[in-house]
Structure 1
Amino acid sequence: MLLRASSQAVGEEVDLSAAVEDAADGGVEDGSVLTAFAEAVVRATDDLDAARARALETLGPAKFVEAAATVGIFNGLVRVADSTGIPSDAMMLERTADVRGDLGFNRWAGARSSGVAEAPA
């Protein structure tokens, strides 16, 4: 939801469906490389080394470190929220209802903590 707000703040349009689908770049520069890298890190896939090398080559060292830090912190935040059962507050639930519905986030395990969980499709 922060990506939507931050992209609007700088006048850019992103396709948030790229976060949950095997999509293109989502309208983000080097988005497909970033998505592949993030997925490989979070899922600890066999292609992590290749995804890391491609991200470093495509982004350069400074942007790669920024991307790696972002993946790490978001992964950590989600794990803490899910493990402790932290619910989203009412304002966040209201402001994100459309995106959560469109992208199927309410079918994810973490949605239970906020009382918005739906059965998996």
Structure 2
Amino acid sequence: MDYSAIIGGAAAGDTGVEHGVILIELAEAILDTDDARLETARLAVAERMGASALVDSVAVAALFNGIDRIADATGAPLEQTKADATVELRSEIGINAFGDQKEALEAAEGKSAAE
């Protein structure tokens, strides 16, 4: 399976998913702070896929955001069966390094704030 869109985003190009390029752009725009980019992405999805697809797409993005926040806030551990099933995927996309990267960013922010 090609996971390049997970780590490469829109730069990954055509992933073989129908309307994948505009859906990736919508996902990135949702996480960005540029309102014009988000409006452009929403319009692209609505024009090419329809209003229902736009609603479904942003609902999925919101759901993933909510699930992630709840899991993080409660400290929910990754179940062992899911950990076992995703070893290769997590290695391939570099997700195992996220914790270390977060700690490094937090340390840098703390250092900057103290200076």
Given the superposition, is the C-alpha separation of residues 74 and 25 from structure 1 closer, same or farther in structure 2, using an over 3 Å criterion? farther
In 1, distance between residues paired with 2:21 and 2:89? 20
Partner of 2:4: 17
Q: Runs of 5+ in structure 2 lacking a partner?
A: 102-115
Partner of 2:72: 82
Tell me how large the CA RMSD over aligned residues is. 1.6
Q: Runs of 5+ in structure 1 lacking a partner?
A: 1-13, 110-118
Aligned residue pairs total 98
Pairwise CA distance, 1:93? 0.6
Superposition pairs for residues 53-64 of structure 1, below 5 Å? Answer: 53-64=43-54
Q: TM-score, normalised by structure 2?
A: 0.76
| Paired residues of 1:15 and 1:26 also in contact (CA < 8 A) | yes
Would you say 1:103 and 2:90 are equivalent positions?
no
In 2, distance between residues paired with 1:27 and 1:83? 35
Structure with the bigger RCO (C-alpha within 8 Å, sep 6+) is 2
Pairwise CA distance, 1:35? 0.7
Q: TM-score, normalised by structure 1?
A: 0.72
| Paired residues of 1:19 and 1:35 also in contact (CA < 8 A) | no
Query: If you compute each CA radius of gyration, which structure gives the higher value, 1 or 2?
Result: 2
Secondary structure at 1:108 match in 2: helix
| Paired residues of 1:15 and 1:27 also in contact (CA < 8 A) | no
Q: Which range moved further: 38-47 or 60-69?
A: 38-47
